[in-house]
Structure 1
């Protein structure tokens, strides 16, 4: 966790969640985030560092089209498998208000 100055020199901890492979299990991930948020949250951000998309094309398209909402701002890195690389654009993109692909550079600038 990193401390940030937020007005009047008050420091605030940024609570970060990290996930490995999701493999297209988006509903399971959302349920897990809700549970962890309830027990130890709220969390500010989630980084998914493993394989995010899975074999279900319909579910993947729902995510890409912003039809699935994540309860915490979620950031994904690039593909791990050639079979899912088609879901990742060449550059970073915001799939929805709650899901962002960081692109090949994998960099993120936040307000915090």
Structure 2
């Protein structure tokens, strides 16, 4: 018998401007109805300086959980960049918390 092809199920999201709870709720709904999904990439503006208060609980202790690994780019948000810039390897990406990964400030250079 022929081996089954290796298939990954990817989800792409646009801008969430730091409003993580609705994004995670939507990911969970799609994961449940169309899944299982392997990973989500947020390709729009992920963080937002104006929505820093909404991000604070999540960034502080990971109180909002994502069902699948979520990878994001973010070049402009000082709310995200300032507290993490001094961490080793920050510009190359880092694990923020479980299932949330920063992959740098821009895509292909």
Q: TM-score range by the shorter chain?
A: 0.7 to 0.9
Give the equivalent residue in structure 1 for 2:8: 14
Give the equivalent residue in structure 1 for 2:97: 96
| Bigger proportion of residues as strand | 1
Q: Is the 8 A contact 1:21 1:50 kept in 2?
A: yes
Structure with greater contact order relative to length (CA < 8 Å, sep ≥ 6)? 2
Task: Pick which of 86-95 and 46-55 moved more.
Answer: 86-95
Task: From the superposition, tell whether residues 76 and 31 of structure 1 become closer, same or farther in structure 2 (CA, over 3 Å).
Answer: same
* CA RMSD in angstroms, aligned pairs only: 2.2
Work out the CA distance in 2 between the residues paired with 1:27 and 1:99.
13
Q: Is the 8 A contact 2:15 2:45 kept in 1?
A: yes
* TM-score, length of structure 1 as denominator length: 0.72
Work out the CA distance in 1 between the residues paired with 2:44 and 2:106.
16
Q: Is the 8 A contact 1:22 1:53 kept in 2?
A: yes
Give 1:63 shift.
3.1
Work out the CA distance in 2 between the residues paired with 1:61 and 1:11.
42
* TM-score, length of structure 2 as denominator length: 0.73
Which residue of 68, 72, 80 maps to 1:87?
80
- Uncovered stretches (5+) of structure 2, i.e. residues with no partner: none
